[in-house]
Structure 1
Amino acid sequence: MKIQFYTALITLFAFSNTVFATDITPPEKVGLSSEKLEIIDTNIQEDIDNGIISGATVAVMRHGKLAYYKAFGTRGRGAVPGPLKTDDLFRIYSMTKPITTVGIMMLFEQGKIQLDDPVSKFIPAFADTKVMELGDLYAPDNLITIADLLRHTSGIVYGFFGDTEVRTEYRKVDLRDVTQTTTEMVDLLAALPLEHQPGTAWEYSHSTDVLGRVIEVVSGKRLDQFLKKEILDPLGMVDTAFYVAGEKRDRIVEPQFKGLSNPLKEPKLHSGGGGLMSTADDYLIFSSMMLNGGIYEGTRILKDETVTMMTQDQLGDVRPGNYDLLTDANGFGFGFAIRLTDQGFAAGSKGSYWWGGYAGTYFWIDPVQELIIVFMMQQPNRRSLYRPRIRNWVYGAMMD
């Protein structure tokens, strides 16, 4: 795999899964301490030895060079036996959202959608969506726009966490049934009430699933086909898809946890909010493209100014409603949480952007430090523990 990183000067470097050991740059050459990075090895191996996790992969890039890339443990109980490898396949769940968001912004750049377009322009079922307040239904004051979907201010929610009257209605239907089509799922969602007036509160939600359907309507292609043609193939993200082909089954990582999706079965539902499988390799490519201002190995996916728009806070005074995943330290752009301060429980620079997936995957892009962190595991019950730890370990190893 080759990664090309653009800064003020162009730096070129290349590596492949078979020769990582010779292509990894010594951490000290990019301002990281090898000795301090060993805390990652020590702590992850200790958790594996104690049965807390089965395995994890950690990648750290700085100044366009891969300085740390290791896989620990195994693929987990139920997977093909053997040590975890850096190119193994993980369910990335909500790390699908930034990829779908890039697809929408490509259509925006082409003039095929506008950020203030009402979603009902593309999905008529949303013309009748109502807001629920104290058990009563009301027409919304404003229609849900594409921008509302991008920044999760649509009034749409997730029904599987939180306890409100709207989320109770969500739990009466199965929006995650992979035997339904994306069209069926989104029409079902449009019939459910909104928790807030559009534009008034941030609520983490199925909004990106709706964006996936917008992509289908506007492009005339299924979401999987669009993402493959417009993003995944041009970037060389060869292992990112909505299911895993049979010849790759030996690389699937399984958790010490029940209830995750079956990646070997191709779903009818292509969830733009949480359906993809991927690898640390592929997400390094995607993250590099974003940090490089929309370009990777000479292939431009987005304009630099579009990336800037996506990675700036778009909430302003709008704050989380009934379920706060952001805290005061973060805002939200288009598809990414945005760090608003240099201070906080977890280390990081103001202006960094990030997100994670339900099963424990996580990425962090810091333009100030020219830093990318990609972390992969499949332990949903440990994700809140590991995300700040990974960040603190890496920033703690910085020498400049």
Structure 2
Amino acid sequence: MIIQSILVVCTGNICRSPTGERLLQKYLPLIRIESAGINGLEGQPADCCAADTILQYGVSLQGHVARKLTHAMMRQSDLILVMESRQLNYISAIAPEMRGKSLLFGRWLDNKEIPDPYCKSPDAFEYVFDLLVSRIPKVHFFGAAEKHKTTNVPFLPIDRPLDIFVEAVRGLRTSLHFAMMEAENKILMFSGPTQNCGKTLVSTTLAALVAQVGERVLLVDADMRKGYVHNIFPLRNDSGLSDVLSGKVSFQQAIQTYETANFDVVTCGQIPPNPAELLMHDRFRKFIQWASERYDMVIIDTPPILAVTDAALVGSLAASTLLVARYNVTSVKEMLACTRRLQKMNVNIKGVIVNDVVRSAVSYYSAGYNLQGDDYEKVALAKGKKKRRAGN
């Protein structure tokens, strides 16, 4: 079945469903997205607290007008997404034929319901909209979300050492050498607001480059929900971080060595039912201390900050944290929401890395060489050639 239209349903259509509608429109621009409410607060604008909160994620509810759910709306939609089970029950009662195409909005992450933020406080709305945002990227079966390739991809520090991205991370390595000299421990956390901002690319590349100068490096994949570092190298994933924290294996037993780049790795391990609770356990703090005593740098790659609380829990134990934003993808509002959440946990944010920046032809120094293919042939820009001819 090809999905061409989606109807998002909540109770009053002034809070959750318009938020889901606008977020889906952002990710699925070719599909018709609408929203409606069961109780029918028809004609009312979006809740002001909801509008202020969702603006943090770069989405506006301006101009929204509430609508009452009707049979015609449901018939015209290929898929109906609801926030709570009681709304599924309501649809089944009034239109049993629609039950087959009705799903929980949170189906793509643990089938969790998205509650009504009846308590009109910023914290309540932030919680609800974090749930919404974390579920939007899961809609891969619509065919609109980009498939994130994790296997059979080149590892740039080894396969393309002259790539301009690798050169940039070498500069980061130098900066961190001085920035971390006075740090309380040797733990460096990488995270970002959402998926696909490049945090794993940066963290794995940095691990290889630090190892190249003779430092002992441990890379930890702390995304116990969707981690894929073991696919990149490749390594086993039967004894990883989740297995360490649940007491199934010892710290040392979880260590694997990526021989090609000469650094150690702890993979994410088997998917546990309670990743956040494992990170709150005292065993994680002991693991961090153990690793910091044995390595010159411990790099921890974490899940997106706006999706789950894992990054904030890890960051509270790390002496240094770097956020990764993707140029022209990550919004300022998303970065502000990230920093606020981490600051509440007293996370020490050292800075932000802007990834995937389009090089400007105005910068002759950085754009004078174009590295292409396996031979890394240096190619002068046409603009640079014209400049030399003019000088002659």
TM-score interval for Structure 1 and Structure 2 normalised by the shorter chain: under 0.3
TM-score, normalising length: structure 1: 0.24
- Structure with the higher helix share, 1 or 2: 2
Larger of the two Rg values belongs to structure? 2
Higher-RCO chain (CA-CA 8 Å, sequence separation at least 6):
1
